[in-house]
């Protein structure tokens, strides 16, 4: 009985949090990618104190979390907590001719995202870096192989040599997101496994990216 009551209270808190249109809009935005409070404020056109109130309500309901940027520690990002949101998210779709995954070095996260996307969607994908490394990180090749993905002869590439008009750009690291010019793109705040270097770090990054790809792929249609 106690478990049932805890579940009931949890569901009631979620529904109460999403009963406000502004908070429901935040959740819809975060379903596609992470946002900083400033980005949410600009998108919603609301005062900072009101935004803070809505974010606290969503956090208290267990629907969002916040963490510091790996690049600019003065920034924070809001991430949707997907546990318990099944069936609550909007089914809106985005049209794109190609999905372009971008990270700083194009040596791990963006390469894994590209490979996972090719397995999940018929919409074309590519990857690039703002400061491409000399090669793909061995840990990225290892974790891809453990999950049946072959990164093949892929090599890091310069963003401005790869980007094309019509791309849906997804920055998969804080550093790339923060140094790119302000434009329409999505952001997945994935911790850098190369900085840690352990197999566990690469497994964690792979798991996060795979979940994000699975969630987003059904919302993207070919332009």
Q: What is the mean pLDDT of each run of 10 residues along the chain (223 residues)?
A: 61 87 92 94 95 95 94 95 67 84 98 97 96 97 96 93 95 96 89 97 98 91 85
Give yes or no for a contact between 168 and 99, defined as CB atoms under 8 angstroms apart: yes
Q: From 186, 223, 221, select the one nearest 92 (Cα to Cα).
A: 221
Residue 106 backbone zone (phi > 0: left; psi -120 to 50: alpha; other: beta):
left
Q: What is the rounded CA–CA span in Å between residue 220 and residue 79?
A: 20
**Residue 150 resides in a domain:** yes
Q: How confident is the model at residue 10, as a pLDDT?
A: 78
Q: What is the CATH number of the domain that holds 52?
A: 1.10.10.10
Q: How confident is the model at residue 85, as a pLDDT?
A: 64
**Residue 101 resides in a domain:** yes
Number of domains in the chain: 2
* Helices and strands per DSSP (H, E), number in the chain: 10, 8
Q: What is the rounded CA–CA span in Å between residue 7 and residue 108?
A: 39
Q: Within this chain, do residues 64 and 98 fall inside the same structural domain, yes or no? A: no
Q: What is the SS3 assignment for 49?
A: helix
Q: Within this chain, do residues 59 and 166 fall inside the same structural domain, yes or no? A: no
Q: Within this chain, do residues 170 and 99 fall inside the same structural domain, yes or no? A: yes
Q: Within this chain, do residues 134 and 203 fall inside the same structural domain, yes or no? A: yes
**Residue 88 resides in a domain:** no
Q: What is the rounded CA–CA span in Å between residue 114 and residue 110?
A: 6
**Residue 86 resides in a domain:** no
Cα 207 from chain centroid? 12
Q: Within this chain, do residues 111 and 187 fall inside the same structural domain, yes or no? A: yes
Q: What is the rounded CA–CA span in Å between residue 187 and residue 33?
A: 5
Q: In terms of residue numbers, what domain contains 201?
A: 94-222
Q: Within this chain, do residues 74 and 104 fall inside the same structural domain, yes or no? A: no
Q: Within this chain, do residues 98 and 195 fall inside the same structural domain, yes or no? A: yes
Q: Within this chain, do residues 55 and 15 fall inside the same structural domain, yes or no? A: yes
What does the pLDDT look like over 138-172, one tens digit per residue?
Answer: 999 999 999 999 898 889 999 999 999 999 999 99
Residue 62 backbone zone (phi > 0: left; psi -120 to 50: alpha; other: beta):
left
Q: Within this chain, do residues 76 and 100 fall inside the same structural domain, yes or no? A: no
What pTM, to 2 d.p., does this model score? 0.89
Q: Is the dihedral of CA 199, 200, 202, 207 positive or negative?
A: positive
Q: Within this chain, do residues 52 and 117 fall inside the same structural domain, yes or no? A: no
Q: How confident is the model at residue 119, as a pLDDT?
A: 95
Which residue, 55, 80, 105, sits at the end of a domain? 80
Residue with tokens 């194009």: 106
Q: How confident is the model at residue 77, as a pLDDT?
A: 98
- What b/e sequence results for 143-158 when a residue is b if at least 16 CB atoms lie within 10 Å of its CB, and e otherwise? bbeeeebebeebebbe
């Amino acid at each position: 009985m106690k478990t049932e009551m805890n579940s009931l209270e949890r569901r009631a808190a979620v529904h109460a949090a999403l009963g406000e249109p502004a908070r429901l809009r935040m959740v819809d935005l975060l379903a596609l990618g992470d946002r900083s409070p400033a980005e949410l404020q600009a998108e919603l056109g609301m005062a900072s104190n009101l935004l803070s109130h809505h974010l606290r309500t969503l956090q208290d309901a267990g629907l969002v979390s916040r963490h510091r940027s790996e690049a600019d520690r003065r920034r924070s990002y809001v991430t949707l907590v997907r546990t318990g949101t099944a069936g609550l998210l909007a089914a809106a779709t985005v049209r794109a001719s190609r999905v372009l995954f971008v990270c700083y070095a194009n040596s791990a996260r963006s390469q894994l995202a590209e490979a996972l996307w090719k397995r999940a969607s018929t919409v074309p994908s590519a990857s690039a870096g703002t400061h491409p490394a000399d090669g793909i990180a061995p840990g990225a090749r290892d974790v891809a192989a453990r999950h049946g993905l072959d990164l093949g002869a892929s090599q890091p590439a310069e963003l401005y040599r790869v980007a094309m008009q019509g791309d849906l750009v997804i920055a998969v690291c804080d550093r790339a997101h923060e140094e790119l010019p302000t434009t329409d793109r999505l952001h997945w705040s994935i911790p850098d496994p190369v900085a840690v270097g352990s197999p566990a770090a690469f497994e964690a990054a792979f798991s996060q990216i795979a979940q994000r790809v699975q969630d987003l792929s059904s919302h993207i249609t070919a332009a």
